[in-house]
Amino acid sequence: MPSLSIVATPIGNLSDITFRAVETLRNADVVVCEDTRVTRKLLAHYGITTPVESFHAHSDERKIQRIVGMLREGKKVALVSDAGTPLISDPGNVLIDAVQRAISDVHITPIPGPSALTACLSVSPFSVDKFLFLGFLPRKNKRIKTFAAIKESTVPVAFYESPQRIEKTMQQLVALYNEEPQKDFSLIVAKELTKLHETILYSTKETVCADLGHIAVKGEFVVVLKNI
């Protein structure tokens, strides 16, 4: 039976990988990945020699059909992203959709593991039994509307942001909340989770911009914001 395994990989610290993930990658016929250079380093670290095949957000229909063809041949395919859990703000859903439509007996299996989102949520000082995840915030057109939705949310809101935009994003959010003095928030801002320079800030509307000014703004950020 053809199988497609969705394999979570480390977000920084290479020790953060499950035995099952290593076994799955080792036993696969091919590992489909965003960047073959990144994935080859991970595989080499664990002595895995499985061939790799690129698949990313800009892959065309021919690449999708190539992978579908491998599965039709009965091959075991493992899908990984550059880091973390595939499909969580990473490419992969179009491939899974194509595979499901093309092969009736395909076995699709999640191999769970690291995720920057759940890592940040796990150190939250406020309840995250329910939360809204927005992925990476829009850059332009829908940005103001997204900020307004964050401001009105009754549950904590989690999102990703790039180092190039994190300071501007926080400045814009603070300015939006200051339009209504009774509106306030507390938040977690985390960067480079599991890496050498991991930083987790517990901050507020009044201090977040200053707090960001005291750290090196590099690496992707995870933000969890709670309206109070």
Per-residue pLDDT of the chain (228 residues; tens, 9 = 90+): 899 999 999 999 999 999 999 999 999 999 999 999 999 999 999 999 999 999 998 999 999 999 999 999 999 999 999 999 999 988 899 999 999 999 999 999 999 999 999 999 999 999 999 999 999 999 888 999 999 999 999 999 999 999 999 999 999 999 999 999 899 999 999 999 999 999 999 999 999 999 999 998 888 999 999 999
Q: What pLDDT does residue 1 have?
A: 81
Could you give all domains of the chain from N- to C-terminal order, each with its CATH number? 3-111 (3.40.1010.10), 116-227 (3.30.950.10)
Strands 199-204 vs 221-227: parallel, antiparallel or unpaired: unpaired
Residue whose structure tokens are 């400045």 = 171
C-alpha distances (whole Å) from 228 to each of 81, 119, 200, 208 are 35, 23, 20, 15
Q: What pLDDT does residue 217 have?
A: 86
Q: What pLDDT does residue 198 have?
A: 96
Q: What pLDDT does residue 87 have?
A: 94
Q: What pLDDT does residue 134 have?
A: 97
Quote the tokens at residue 218: 């590099």
Decide: pTM greater than 0.85. yes
Q: What pLDDT does residue 166 have?
A: 96
Residue whose structure tokens are 């699709």 = 108
3-class secondary structure, 144: helix
CB atoms inside a 10 Å sphere around CB 175: 10
Q: What pLDDT does residue 91 have?
A: 85
167 contact partners, CB below 8 Å, separation of at least 6: 209, 212, 217
Q: What pLDDT does residue 139 have?
A: 85
